[in-house]
Structure 1
């Protein structure tokens, strides 16, 4: 199953949250959040498999680093996968330059 790509827009609601978002030196990192589509930096053949049924999981979401203060390693993203048969989930950190 492939989910259509749905871009997520960061909308911090407090002053502290507004200060946490973004990078001083990078305009791309912190903007790569979305549901569905294809994950940056991972080919479909490398998607994880479900521990229960052994089938390849569906890419569900990509969550980017937040900003300088909450950076994931070196601007990594979290890729989230789900098995729609067993409702198991897996996530992994991936370095991507997209």
Structure 2
């Protein structure tokens, strides 16, 4: 199953939040948030298997690093997968070059 890709737009609501979003040296990192679609730089055959039923899990979301202050190990992203049969969830920290 593949969920249609839905881009997420960062909208910080406070001055404190605005001050931590983005990078001084990179215009792409911090903007790669989305639901569904396919994760950046990860092939379908690399998706995890459900620990309960052993079926390939569905990609659910990609969350990017926030910015310089809350960087995930050199601009990594979090990929989250779900099994819609068992409702098992797994997340991975992955390097994305997109």
Instruction: Structure 1: state its 5+ residue gaps.
Output: none
Aligned to 2:3: 3
Corresponding residue for residue 51 of structure 2: 51
What SS does the corresponding residue of 1:63 show, helix, strand or coil? strand
Residue in 1 aligned with 2:15?
Answer: 15
Once the two structures are superposed, residues 65-88 of structure 1 have per-residue CA deviations (whole angstroms, 9 ceiling, x without a partner) of: 000000000100000000000000
1:41-97 superposed Cα distances (whole Å, 9 cap, x missing partner): 110000000000000000000000000000000100000000000000000011011
Scaled by the length of structure 2, the TM-score of the pair is 0.99
Taking only aligned residues, the RMSD between alpha carbons, in angstroms, comes to 0.3
Report the Cα distance in structure 2 between the residues aligned to 1:96 and 1:5, rounded to whole angstroms.
17
- The 5-angstrom pairing of residues 1-98 of structure 1 reads 1-98=1-98
Other structure's SS at 1:25 match = coil
CA distance in 2, matches of 1:72, 1:41: 16
Alpha-carbon distance in 2 for matches of 1:81, 1:16? 31
Structure 2 gaps of 5+ residues are none
Give the CA deviation at 1:7. 0.1
Count of residues in correspondence between the two structures: 98
Please list every run of at least 4 consecutive aligned residues from structure 1 whose deviation after the TM superposition is greater than 2 angstroms. none
